């Protein structure tokens, strides 16, 4: 038997989405811990920049990996594109979802075996009707069906992660169905 947690789909709702005609925003939310794979996202952002894909990336959260992630951002010269925005109130997180072009959940299995199950923030983003790119770790593929309600990548492959994100950013109308299906999944199975 599985007991899934739920998400308030009235609070996390696409009506709040407000994409502006600016540089597309990539958002990721979570504790800055090894299992979140945020260093892989930063490497993927370097690949996006090298491929000429316009983007901004905001990583929301706090934790022990913050100094290492900031050093990685600095070393790669990504300060203008990738921001560690710290811990935010729920309303501010919803604002990030509302402005995002894509949500990325780059989870992986940490060296000590720690891993995500189904991250609540991934459910929140899906309930907002956001296209999501996530990794094939633990319970995530139970939620995200590749090509149906999101895109999946391998957990330790920044190039594939970058390619999946680039697909969404380069042709938002072609991937809008992912956001619609993501919302249907979130409210249908995770209410």
Model pLDDT, residue 71: 98
Digit-coded pLDDT (tens) for 77-126: 999 999 999 999 999 999 999 999 999 999 999 999 999 999 999 999 99
For the entire predicted model, the pTM comes to 0.95
* SS3 assignment for the chain: CCCCCCCCCCCCCHHHCCCCCCCCEEEEECCCCHHHCHHHHHHHHHHHHHCCCCCEEEEECCCCCHHHHHHHHHHCCCCCCEEEEECCCHHHHHHHHHHCCEEEECCCCCCCCCCCCCCHHHHHHHHCCCCEEEECCCCHHHHCCECCCEEEECCCCHHHHHHHHHHHHHCHHHHHHHHHHHHHHHHHHCC
Condensed to tens digits (0 to 9), the pLDDT of residues 112-126 reads 999 999 999 999 999
Residues 134-191: tens digit of each pLDDT: 999 999 999 999 999 999 999 999 999 999 999 999 988 889 999 999 999 999 988 8
pLDDT of residue 31: 95
Q: What is the rounded average pLDDT for all residues in the chain?
A: 94
pLDDT tier at 19, thresholds 50, 70, 90: low
């Amino acid at each position: 038997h599985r007991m899934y947690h739920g998400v308030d789909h009235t609070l996390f709702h696409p009506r709040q989405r407000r994409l502006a005609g600016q540089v597309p925003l990539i958002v990721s939310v979570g504790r800055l811990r090894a299992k979140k794979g945020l260093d892989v996202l930063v490497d993927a952002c370097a690949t996006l920049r090298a491929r000429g894909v316009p983007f901004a990336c905001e990583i929301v959260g706090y934790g022990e990996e913050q100094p290492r992630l900031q050093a990685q951002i600095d070393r790669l010269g990504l300060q203008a594109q990738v921001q560690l925005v710290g811990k935010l109130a729920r309303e501010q997180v919803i604002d990030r979802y509302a402005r995002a072009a894509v949500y990325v959940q780059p989870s992986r299995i940490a060296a000590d075996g720690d891993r995500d199950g189904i991250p609540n923030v991934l459910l929140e983003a899906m309930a907002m009707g956001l296209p999501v790119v996530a990794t094939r770790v633990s319970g995530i593929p139970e939620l995200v069906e590749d090509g149906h309600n999101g895109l999946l990548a391998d957990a330790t492959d920044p190039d594939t992660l970058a390619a999946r994100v680039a697909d969404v950013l380069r042709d938002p109308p072609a991937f809008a169905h992912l956001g619609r299906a993501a919302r249907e999944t979130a409210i249908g199975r995770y209410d």
